[in-house]
């Protein structure tokens, strides 16, 4: 290749880079498609282009024009970019392409050093846990790169120069060397025994028929064993090779770190394996015990039904009552006694309750609650969950089941948001203007203490609020002795720091027959947001929350007894189709300053009321949570700040083209670039929220500046080593530093645009995880058949 013209040599180098990128993109897509070849479009076109490009690269005939060669290279690059549709895959493709390029151009010593000291160290560092989480995204890429590099080193050692004789000569048949053992182990582990690769075993029909496909756990163990064997062989080969002192010392340090991480990781895996075996044996024993208990002709017990029998003289006069001591149960005796005492205290006419036990059930609707097909007695589905203290009944059964003849009633909410101010992420507050409307069917044929008095159709009277809890029907005069009274549910804004009532609340009767009442009020409130976190700034998302509930007179036998008056959402019958979504909506003109909610509408959900001191899960109260998901508008940072910082760091990397002896010129250019970045940083800091943890934007700005510091330190170190005679040339060191900084810059850009935030301060994500865990037992609400789903 040294005798070829410079233009032809550049053409071949471009072809090699394009071919490496093509291989990398195909490998990345292959991994993304779960190793399924059938899911790849046009596989034969790809194979044809691969063969033609390789032939053009390896062919030395003069009839292959340089234009045809470059055209094939351009087609390879275009095809590579077309198939990769995300920034993450672009980053993986570039890293794997660099591995292909190094495997085609560098020597055995360089490939062994990079594979053992960089790729293997990244793969094997599993301790401490923070570093393991930090390197998680890189381990998925370094695995294929490790196999590619040691395969190239093995071929170089066996067949000579791979760049001129690619695929033209096969390795000689002889006893395997360390590199060949390492290559065979790594390829077998990376392809055949990769835990998420099932396609290779599925194409072997005989193994599939006989059930010889290994499990995922077995594949993990074989994969780990083969990779450790390959690493040991590569370490032995590294010790046998001859390196300069700086490279050898650095390699030994990295090998020691990776070996310690490997030992600690194997220890953690062994402990995890012991715990998993103990858990499997425990589940097996428990399954056997349950199978022994379920033996017998009882079908209801096999279906998971809990039957609680009580004596009822009216319904079972001819039958022998079932004693409570023989009650079948799937829970402890204490739970059975609590449930029986609850039924005895609350149910007078309840003959039997059959409760379907389902540990995974989170919600229940109207249809499963009442089922009279099996018997004439009511069947109420109640989710019995030991991990939750919240349980309620959603059905239209009569309140006679508990202690009176009053039916279960519902207070139905409607919320319309008219204005949202700029959220204060630091203090966790947001100003909001909204209208709350409630609908309820007031009790009829009761005295003034409970509901309505007699109706007088000969006078035009209006309902007027008196305080926050009562409304009077009057003739625009003061409250008199003969005025009829209706009590209004006292709605409370649970997360309001301060609020104002705009105007007067309105109350009216919509339906005389059903005594359907409507109360509406317009509020302006400063709402406390306890889940605001700006760790992902400027790509952070927030849930603007409004919580409503009823706190007063919710005790037993009080006016708004929570066992009788249940919270619900408004239906179309309540609103008379005056609004598309009867539960509520956000007005079209509402814009959150600095944020965008897109086409999202309000989300409604009912949560257990944490302030409730009730211990009985059948009588727990709840509150309504209205939520709007908003996302920050980040175009200012995405299109102005970050691209400019990337360009400045690229200019700083270009200074490594100067010789190491020109350290002064390098330092001046990098110093000028750093001053520009400091000015940008001061401007950006004025727009960042001041919080007690590191946010993603600060992390990205720091990494761009740390890249400049790394270039200055590398330039000074190389200058001292070359000036002192420790190294002959600093070109290789400068190239590796430039590659490292470019990869660091690409990784920083990936973290900013698509990163999950795991690289920032862990404290800023702890509250988000706790919030998700606390929101996990949220249950869905039962809606009437005429209302829309939430």
CATH number at residue 679: 1.20.58.390
Per-residue pLDDT reduced to its tens digit, 749-766: 988 987 544 444 434 444
List b or e across 434-456, with b for residues whose CB sees 16 or more CB atoms inside 10 angstroms.
Answer: bbbbbbbbbbeeeeeeebbeeee
Q: Is residue 479 part of a domain?
A: yes
Same domain, 477 and 571: yes
Measured in degrees and rounded to the nearest 5, phi and psi for residue 618 equal -75, -15
- 675 CB-near residues (< 8 Å, 6+ apart): none
Q: What CA–CA distance (Å, rounded) separates 56 from 74? A: 13
Same domain, 376 and 522: no
Residues of the chain with pLDDT under 50: 1-9, 33, 35, 37-39, 60-65, 67, 161-173, 293-405, 445-459, 756-790
Of 599, 592, 595, which is closest to residue 633 (Cα–Cα)?
A: 595
Q: What pLDDT was estimated at residue 546? A: 96
Q: What pLDDT was estimated at residue 295? A: 45
Same domain, 183 and 262: yes
Measured CA angle at 703 (ends 701, 706), to 5 deg: 115
Same domain, 286 and 169: yes
Q: What pLDDT was estimated at residue 272? A: 55
Q: Is residue 620 part of a domain?
A: yes
Beta bridge partners of 544: 628
Same domain, 471 and 544: yes
- Mark which of 633, 665, 697 sits at the end of a domain: 633
Same domain, 77 and 113: no
Same domain, 150 and 188: yes
Q: Is residue 747 part of a domain?
A: yes
Q: Is residue 230 part of a domain?
A: yes
- 3-state DSSP call for residue 389? coil
Residue 124 belongs to domain spanning: 106-290
Q: What CA–CA distance (Å, rounded) separates 47 from 42? A: 9
Q: What pLDDT was estimated at residue 313? A: 37
Same domain, 622 and 642: no
Q: What pLDDT was estimated at residue 2? A: 44
- Are 342 and 402 contacting, i.e. CB atoms less than 8 angstroms apart? no
Same domain, 499 and 554: yes
List b or e across 620-645, with b for residues whose CB sees 16 or more CB atoms inside 10 angstroms.
Answer: bbbbbbbebebbbebeebeeebbeeb
Q: Is residue 399 part of a domain?
A: no
Same domain, 77 and 177: no
Q: What CA–CA distance (Å, rounded) separates 566 from 548? A: 13
Q: Is residue 382 part of a domain?
A: yes
Same domain, 467 and 578: yes
Q: What pLDDT was estimated at residue 544? A: 95
- Mark which of 633, 663, 697 sits at the end of a domain: 633
Q: What is the CATH number of the domain that holds 553?
A: 2.70.170.10
Q: Is residue 767 part of a domain?
A: no
Of 264, 18, 19, 255, which is closest to residue 114 (Cα–Cα)?
A: 255
Backbone Cα Rg of the chain: 36
Total domains present in the chain: 5
Q: From residue 724, how far is each of 243, 250, 659, 717, 736 by CA, in Å? A: 19, 19, 15, 11, 21
Q: What pLDDT was estimated at residue 210? A: 59
Same domain, 549 and 418: yes
Q: Is residue 780 part of a domain?
A: no
CA 593 vs. chain centroid, Å, equals 26
Q: What pLDDT was estimated at residue 141? A: 66
């Amino acid at each position: 290749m040294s005798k070829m013209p410079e233009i032809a040599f550049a053409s071949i180098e471009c072809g090699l880079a394009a071919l490496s990128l093509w291989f990398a993109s195909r490998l990345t897509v292959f991994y993304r498609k779960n190793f399924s070849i059938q899911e790849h479009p046009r596989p034969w076109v790809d194979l044809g282009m691969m063969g033609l490009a390789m032939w053009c690269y390896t062919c030395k005939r003069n009839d292959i024009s340089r234009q045809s060669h470059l055209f094939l290279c351009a087609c390879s690059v275009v095809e590579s970019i077309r198939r990769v549709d995300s920034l993450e895959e672009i980053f993986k493709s570039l890293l794997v392409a660099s591995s292909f390029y190094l495997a085609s151009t560098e020597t055995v010593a360089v490939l062994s050093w990079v594979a053992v000291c960089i790729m293997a160290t990244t793969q094997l560092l599993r301790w401490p846990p923070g570093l393991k989480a930090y390197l998680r995204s890189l381990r998925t890429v370094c695995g294929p790169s490790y196999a590619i590099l040691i395969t190239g080193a093995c071929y170089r050692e066996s067949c000579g120069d791979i760049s001129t004789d690619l695929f033209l000569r096969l390795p000689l048949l002889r006893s395997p060397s360390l590199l060949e053992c390492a290559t065979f182990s790594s390829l077998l582990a990376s392809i055949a025994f990769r835990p998420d690769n099932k396609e290779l075993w599925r194409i072997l029909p005989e193994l599939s028929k006989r059930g010889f496909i290994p499990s995922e756990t077995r594949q993990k163990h074989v994969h780990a064993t083969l990779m450790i064997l390959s690493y040991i062989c590569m370490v032995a080969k590294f010790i046998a090779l001859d390196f300069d002192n700086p490279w050898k010392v650095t390699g030994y340090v990295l090998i020691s770190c990776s070996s310690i991480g490997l030992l600690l990781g194997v220890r953690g895996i062994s402990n995890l394996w012991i715990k998993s075996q103990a858990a499997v044996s425990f589940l097996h024993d428990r399954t056997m015990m349950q199978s022994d208990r379920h033996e017998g002709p009882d079908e209801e017990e096999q279906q998971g039904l809990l039957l609680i029998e009580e004596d009822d003289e009216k319904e079972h006069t001819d039958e022998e009552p079932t004693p409570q001591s023989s009650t079948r149960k799937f829970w402890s005796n204490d739970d059975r006694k609590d449930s029986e005492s609850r039924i005895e205290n609350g149910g007078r006419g309840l003959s039997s309750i059959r409760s379907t036990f389902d540990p995974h059930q989170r919600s229940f609707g109207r249809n499963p609650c009442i089922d009279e097909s099996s018997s004439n007695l009511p069947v109420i589905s109640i989710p019995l969950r030991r991990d939750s203290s919240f349980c309620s009944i959603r059905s239209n059964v009569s309140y006679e089941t508990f202690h009176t003849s009053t039916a279960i009633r519902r207070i139905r909410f409607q919320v319309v948001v008219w204005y949202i101010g700029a959220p204060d992420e630091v203090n966790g507050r947001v100003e909001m203007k909204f209208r709350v409307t409630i609908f309820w069917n007031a009790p009829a044929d009761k005295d003034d203490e409970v509901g309505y008095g007699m109706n007088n159709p000969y006078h035009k009277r209006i309902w007027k609020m008196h305080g926050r809890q009562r409304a009077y029907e009057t003739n625009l005069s003061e409250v008199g002795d003969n005025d009829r009274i209706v009590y209004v549910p006292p709605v409370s804004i649970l997360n309001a720091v301060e609020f104002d009532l705009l105007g007067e609340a309105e109350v009216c009767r919509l339906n005389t027959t059903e005594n359907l009442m409507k109360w509406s009020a317009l509020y302006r409130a400063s709402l406390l947001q306890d889940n605001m976190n700006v760790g992902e700034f400027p790509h952070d998302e927030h849930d603007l929350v409004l919580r409503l509930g009823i706190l007063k007179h919710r005790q037993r036998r009080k006016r708004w007894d929570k066992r009788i008056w249940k919270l619900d959402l408004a239906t179309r019958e309540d609103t008379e189709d005056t609004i598309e979504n009867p539960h509520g909506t956000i007005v079209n003109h509402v814009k959150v300053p600095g944020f965008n909610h897109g086409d999202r509408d309000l989300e409604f959900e009912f949560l257990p009321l944490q302030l409730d001191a009730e211990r009985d899960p059948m009588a727990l109260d709840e509150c309504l949570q209205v939520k709007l998901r908003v996302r920050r508008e980040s175009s200012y940072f995405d299109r102005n700040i970050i691209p400019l910082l990337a360009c400045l760091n690229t200019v700083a990397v270009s200074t490594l083209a100067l010789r190491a002896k020109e350290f002064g010129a390098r330092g001046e250019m990098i110093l000028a670039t750093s001053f520009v970045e400091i000015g940008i940083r001061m401007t950006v800091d004025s727009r960042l929220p001041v919080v007690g943890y590191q946010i993603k934007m600060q992390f990205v700005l720091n990494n761009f500046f740390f890249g400049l510091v790394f270039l200055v330190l590398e330039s000074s170190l190389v200058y001292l080593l070359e000036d002192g005679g420790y190294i002959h040339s600093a070109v290789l060191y400068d190239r590796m530093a430039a590659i490292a900084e470019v990869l660091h810059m690409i990784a920083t850009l990936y973290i900013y645009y698509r990163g999950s935030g795991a690289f920032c301060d862990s404290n800023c994500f702890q509250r988000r995880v706790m919030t998700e865990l606390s929101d996990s037992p949220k249950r869905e609400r039962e809606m009437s058949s005429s209302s829309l789903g939430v």
